[in-house]
Homo-oligomer: A and B are copies of this chain.
Amino acid sequence: MWLGLHSPDDAQMAAVATVFDLHELAVEDAVVAHQRPKVEAYGDTLFVVLRTLAYVDHASMAETAEVVSTGEIMIFLGADYVITVRHGEQTELATMRHRMEEVPSALAVGPSVVLHAVADRVVDAYLAVVDEMDTDLAEIETTVFTGPTVDIDPVYLLKREVIEFRRASTPLAAALARLTAPNPWLPDEVRTYLRDVSDHLTTVNDRVMDYDNLLSSMLDAATAKVGIQQNTDMRMITAWAAMAVAPTMIAGIYGMNFENMPELHWRYGYFVVLGLMATICFTLWRTFRKHGWL
């Protein structure tokens, strides 16, 4: 028997708990959202908490403050029943249920098949989110390393979402390890299939961990890049400034009011000085060019 609930309130949950004789602590956990992934055994009943993740679409990394949204699915697994409690809109289960009910043989093994199906679907959703993050990461890399200016906010934003992601997926590894180890609640066949889910989860966790490292390196690289950019700018600015300062200084000298300044009376003094200024500017330009400041 498979009972599916969506964001039940206290009263609904209490009714269900009475019928199936569920443990008070598990029921409490099932009503309050924001639980940590875990596996807990209360007598014959297995209580499993999974966190669901969904990618929130956004036009660009800078436009939204939320890349990953989270929900929960709790599963009560008894000898002859399974109860799924879902919080949030992530990882909808109805489609899956219909598909499973069309293949009666699938459910013949017992309610633990549902546990595998749900876990599989949750981890597949993780994988989908990770793929989207991959795209985001590539977009950020392009922005940071080839864009005209470095923008740090998306790096931090994705870092935060990666941490959010890991809060959901990392503890699940330990929970799945408990389920795949020999235990009295799950038949061997289901455990083999859960081991496959566990493998996929490890892949997810590896990739998310890598993103975490990459984003940290990117922050460091961006800091260095900003410094380099500033140095390049400063050199260019300085080069142009030097080309303006030199003529100004010379003009200042010939703007002095001394009575006896022979150059002022030369016929072509002015033109010679203009030429001198142009020569100096050109020489400076060539020198800076040669040293890569321009």
Contact = CB atoms under 8 A, between A and B. Distances in A.
28 contacts: A25-B192, A25-B193, A25-B196, A35-B203, A160-B217, A163-B210, A171-B202, A171-B206, A220-B223, A226-B231, A229-B231, A233-B238, A234-B237, A240-B242, A245-B245, A248-B248, A248-B249, A251-B256, A252-B255, A254-B256, A254-B258, A255-B255, A256-B273, A257-B257, A257-B261, A258-B263, A258-B266, A258-B269
A160 B214 contact: yes
A242 to B, nearest CB: 7
A59 interface: no
Interface residues of A, number: 89
Given A233-B234, A252-B247, A256-B254, A224 B152 contact: yes
A230 B149 CA distance: 12
Interface in A8-22: none
A241 B241 CA distance: 9
A267 B256 contact: no
A1 interface: no
A121 interface: no
Given A223-B224, A224-B222, A227-B226, A256 B257 contact: yes
Which of A148, A215, A238 has most B Cβ within 10 Å?
A238
A44 interface: no
A241 B171 CA distance: 57
A109 interface: no
Contacts of A171: 202, 206
A150 B224 contact: yes
A260 B256 CA distance: 14
Given A219-B224, A231-B226, A268-B260, A246 B244 contact: yes
Contact of A260 (B164, B193, B241, B269): B269
Contact of A217 (B164, B193, B219, B226): B219
A228 B231 CA distance: 10
A256 B292 CA distance: 34
